Structure 1
Amino acid sequence: MLSTFLTLSFLTISCEKERLLTDKVDFEELPLNASGLWNGSDGSGGFASGNLFFPNTFNSDYQAWAGFSYTNHTDTVTGDYTNQFSSIAGSGAEGSSKYGVYYYMGVPDTIKFNVPAKVTGLAVCNTTYAFKAMKYGSLFNKKFGGDSGNDPDWFKITITAINQQGNDVGYVDVFLADFRPDDSKNDYIANAWTSIDLSAFGFIKALKIEMSSSDTGEWGINTPAYFCIDNIISVLEKAEE
C-alpha cells in the first residue's frame, strides 16, 4: 500500500453550475512501432492524450530522453538501464496494454490540461528498473534498508497542482518505497499499480511532477528516477451555456 501525504493551500471553490464531462487518459489510442515504445526521438517535444499534454525532452546526440514516454513493455525480470520502459506489475493499470513512463532529470516537468479539470484518479507504479535497483542495489545506488534492513530509505513522487492563474494550490507526496516505519515489517517497495485521488485540489490547469530519494549524492538522485503512470481520470470544467 503506497503512502500518500496531501498538502493543500487555500482554495477558492466556485459553486456555479457546471456541465461536467469525464476524461480518461489510458494511452491505449497512442501509436507504437515495433519497438513497443515512444521516447520522443521524433523531436516533437511531447504528446497529447485526451485532455492532457505530456512534455518530453530528447537529446539526439546521446539518444537520451527525459520527461514522459509511453510503452507496452512487460519485462519484470531485467533490472538495469536496458529495461527503462517496463512496469514491475508487468502491464498497465488494470492489466491494460499501454501506459506512460516518466523519467526525472532533476528539473520538474508539467502535465498541461487543455481544459481545467478535477483529477479523481491517477494510477502510478514502479518501473522494473527502479524496483530491482532499490531491492538489490547496484554499483550506482544502494539497496534500500541497507545491509541491516534498518536504514530509513524512501523514494517518492511529488505532484503539485497548479490552478488556472498559474499558482500552486497544494501537493501530494506519493511514496513508491518507504523504509521509515519503526517496524520493518511495514517497509515496502511498491510492486503494483495504485490510484491516487487528487480531487481535493479542485479544478486545475496543470500537474507539476518531481521525484526525490533518500539515496542522493553530489550529482543528484542515485535511485533510478522513473515511475509508470496510467488511467488519469478527471472531470472537465465547462462554462455555463
Structure 2
Amino acid sequence: PPSNFWKGVAAVPSISGFQSGPAYFVNVYDTSFGGFWSGWGYSALNDTTSTSYATNELGCIAGKGFNQSNIYGVAYVGSNEVANRIKLAPGSIPLGFYITNTTIAYRSMQNGDAFAKKFGGTTGNDPDFFKLNLTAWYNGVPKPDTVEIYLADFRDSNNSNDYIIKEWTWVNTSLLGMCDSLTYTMSSSDTAFGFINTPTYFCMDNLSFFGNTVHQMEENNQLLAYPNPCSNQLHLVNNEEQEMSIHIYNIHGQQSAPFILEKNQTFSLNTSNWSPGVYFVQSSTSKQQSAFKLIKQ
C-alpha cells in the first residue's frame, strides 16, 4: 500500500482488513461505479487543511495520531453493514478509544462544501449535529446499551457552546461490557433525499480493552458477587474447588491490590470509599479466566 495510508485492495472485489490487538478492522472494496471502499483504513497523513479526496481522504484534523503517534485508524461509514464493523476476540471488554474528525469532514462542517452545508448556517443558529452511534454485539445479538458520540454539536441555544471536535477526545465504552463485535452508524442534521450530506468519516486511535480475552461469567458461575450494584459492601464467593486470584479494575484500567480467594471461601469487601461508577472484576484459576462488570452506586 502507499506509505502514508491504506484503504483496501483496489481493482478487485474484496473483504479484507487489518488486525490491531484483539480487534480486526473490516475493509470492503466494491468495484461497481468505478470502484470505492468502505469500512476501515489506516493513515499517517498529517494535512489539516486540504479537502482533496485524491490526496487527503484519510487525513486527520488533529494532524497526528493520539499522543503524537504516527498511525491512526480512519473509518468511512457507507451503506454496506459488513464494512461498518470491528470484530473482537470473544469476551472482549472495550474500555474506550480516542476519536476525532477527518480533515475533510471537519472543513466541510466548518465552511460548507459543494454538497454539505456550513454547520450553524449563515446566522450560526441552525441546530446542526454530526453523530456516531455505537452498538456492541455478543453471540449475534445486539446488547441493550449503546454509545452516542457527537463529532459536532450546534444544538445548544448558546452558540458559544457549539463545537466541532478537532482534538483527540476520549470515548468511554465500558458500559457496553463483554462483546465480540462493535457496529456503528452515523447521523447528521444535514441530509437530502434520505442521505447524509456531511462526509461520513471519523478517526480512531488507542482502542483499549480490559485485561486479556476472558470468558463470560454466566457460563461457568465460578465466582458469585453480590449485591450488584453495590453501595458499601461487596461479597465474593468462590464456588471452585481451588483457589482463585481476584483483580478489580476501574474504567481507566487502574487496578486495586489483587488478592486470593481460597476454595469455597466467602470474602466481603468494604466499598464505601469507592468512587461511583463501573468496575470490572476478573477471576483467575488454573483452568480459566472470567470477568464481569460491577456497578458501584
Measured against the shorter chain, the TM-score band is 0.7 to 0.9
Shift of residue 93 of structure 1? Answer: 1.0
Question: Could you list the per-position Cα deviations for residues 118-145 of structure 1 after superposition, in whole angstroms to 9, with x for gaps in the alignment?
Answer: 1112111100000000000011110000
Secondary structure of the residue that 2:110 maps to in structure 1? helix
Partner secondary structure for residue 45 of structure 1? strand
Residue in 2 aligned with 1:93? 66
Choose the corresponding residue for 1:52, options 23, 33, 36: 23
Query: Matched residue of 1:135: which SS?
Result: helix
**Offset, 1:207:** 0.7
AA of the residue aligned to 1:41 = V
The residue that corresponds to 1:38 in the other structure is 6
Aligned pairs (5 A) from 1:1-241: 33-41=1-9, 43-60=14-31, 62-82=34-54, 83-108=56-81, 109-164=84-139, 166-218=141-193, 220-235=195-210, 236-239=212-215, 240=285, 241=287
Distance 2:140 2:27 in 1: 24
Tell me how far apart the structure 2 counterparts of residues 181 and 219 of structure 1 sit (CA, whole Å). Answer: 25
1:96 is aligned with what amino acid? S
Shift of 1:218: 1.2
In the alignment, the residues of structure 2 paired with residue 159 and residue 69 of structure 1 have an alpha-carbon distance, to the nearest angstrom, of: 18
| Conserved 8 A contact 2:15-2:26 | no
In the aligned structure 1, how far is the partner of 2:90 from the partner of 2:201? 27
**Residues 114 and 205 of structure 1 are in contact (CA less than 8 Å); yes or no, is this contact kept in structure 2?**
yes
Higher mean C-alpha displacement, 69-78 vs 37-46: 37-46
Q: Which amino acid aligns with 1:238?
A: V
One-letter amino acid matched to 1:187? D
* RMSD of aligned residue pairs (Cα, Å): 1.6
Aligned-partner SS, 2:96: strand
Distance 1:174 1:116, change over 3 A: same
Q: Give how far 1:73 is off.
A: 0.7
Residues 40, 57 of structure 1: 8 Å contact kept: yes
**Between Structure 1 and Structure 2, how many residues are aligned?**
209
Contact 2:135–2:142 under 8 Å retained in 1: no
Letter in 1 for 2:104: Y
Query: Match of 1:70, as an amino acid?
Result: Y
How far apart in 2 are the matches of 1:50 and 1:196? 18
118-127 vs 156-165, which moves further: 156-165
Describe the shift of the 1:107–1:211 C-alpha distance in structure 2 as closer, same or farther (beyond 3 A). Answer: farther
C-alpha distance in structure 1 between counterparts of 2:203 and 2:72, whole Å: 7
- Cα distance 1:223–1:57, how it changes in 2: closer, same or farther (>3 A)? same
Shift of the 165–220 alpha-carbon distance from structure 1 to 2, 3 Å rule, reads closer
Partners of 1:60 and 1:71 in 2: CA distance: 22
Higher normalized contact order (CA 8 Å, seq sep 6+, divided by chain length): 1
Q: Which amino acid aligns with 1:182?
A: S
Structure 1 unaligned regions, length at least 5: 1-32
Q: Judge which range, 231-240 or 194-203, deviates more.
A: 231-240
Q: C-alpha deviations, 1:53-100, integer Å up to 9, x for none?
A: 111111245231101111111110102423211110001111100011
**Paired amino acid for 1:74:** N
Deviation of the 1:219 alpha carbon: 5.3
